[in-house]
Structures are given as structure tokens and as C-alpha cells.
Amino acid sequence: MQSVGRGGNISSNREHRINRDIRVREVRLIDEQGKQMGIYPTREALRVAEERGYDLVEIAPQANPPVCRLLDYGKFVYELHRKERDARKAQKQIEVKEIQIRPKTADHDIEVKLNAARKFLAEGAKVRVRVRFRGREHTHPELGDELMERVISDMSDVAVVESPPKPEGSALIMLLSPVKKAEAAKAE
């Protein structure tokens, strides 16, 4: 974005037309406090803006006549970017954590992995459970199904199944969500 001084005539990839880029016959003018001043010829509105030390910014080009406002364009753009940045900060990204187990994983090791999954769910993250098959384990997919059923029953107090177990390549994958998030989604 190019910087523009007062009364500048540089055309760039701005989302608003300002000052001499406004090419309509007349505009509805709003002053710097937000009060309507009425309908002015564009040249007269531009003269008023220059006298007061502001830019003439077209904020509603689809209106008839287009609505223009007296404001400091640099400050206006800065405020817009700041609001967008604050909105992005306020959004919470949903994290997806993953635990991997194999059909021959020992019971205690599975318990350790499930405790880690409980911690992830308590933090609000979703958990992807992946049962990986290697070699001849592919011939016994029922072992993966049993393992997934065990995970579902052991985690039923803190999680709900968002995506049921399904084969993907040489693995069986399931997605779990925290109970609170699932209840909120059902309420909507």
C-alpha cells in the first residue's frame, strides 16, 4: 500500500477511494464528528476537506449519491488494521493433538497414552487416536477395532467421538472432542 499525503492523487490497491480519486458529480458529506453536512458537489466537498485538514474518503460507494467522510485516512487505515489484529487475537485456534498406539502395545503403555489424551482434552484440544498396523498386523484389523472400543469406553467421561474409527492407509483413525465442546455444539 502506498502512502498518500494530504490531497494526494496516487492511485493504488486501496479499498477506499480518497480525495481526487473520487470521480462522481456529488457526494453526501459527513464531517469528522460523524454529523451529516448534506449533499455537496465533489469539488466543494474536497475543498471543505482540505480547509479542515482532512482527507475526503468514500466510505459507501454503492449509495446514491456516494457517502464520503472527512477523516485522517492514515489513522483510519491504522484503526482498521488494529481492529482486525485484535479480532484475530481473540479467536482461539482449536488444536488437534495425536496419540499413536499399536495393536501389540502393552496395557500400561496404553494407560499412559490415555492419560496424556485426558490432559489434552482438559486443555480444550481435540485428540486424534491412531492405531498403526505394521507387517502381519494388517491381517487382524479386529485388534484395532477392539483397541478403539477400549479407548472410547475409557475416555467416555471426558470425551465424545467426533469422527468414528475409520481406516486410513495402514492405520485406523478416530477423532475425540472434549465433552464440554460437544455439549455446546448439540445445544446450538
Radius of gyration of the chain (CA): 30
Superfamily of domain 19-89: Translation initiation factor 3 (IF-3), N-terminal domain (3.10.20.80)
- pTM for the structure as a whole: 0.51
Q: Which of 5-19, 131-145, 152-166, 168-182 has the lowest mean pLDDT?
A: 5-19
Question: What number does CATH give the domain 96-187?
Answer: 3.30.110.10
pLDDT tens per residue, range 32-90: 888 888 888 888 888 888 888 888 888 888 888 888 889 888 888 898 899 999 888 87
Q: 162-168 — which CB contacts under 8 Å span 24+ positions?
A: 162/126, 165/129, 165/131, 167/141
| CA 9, chain centre distance (Å) | 35
Same fold flag, 19-89 and 96-187: no
> How do the domains of the chain map onto residue ranges?
19-89, 96-187
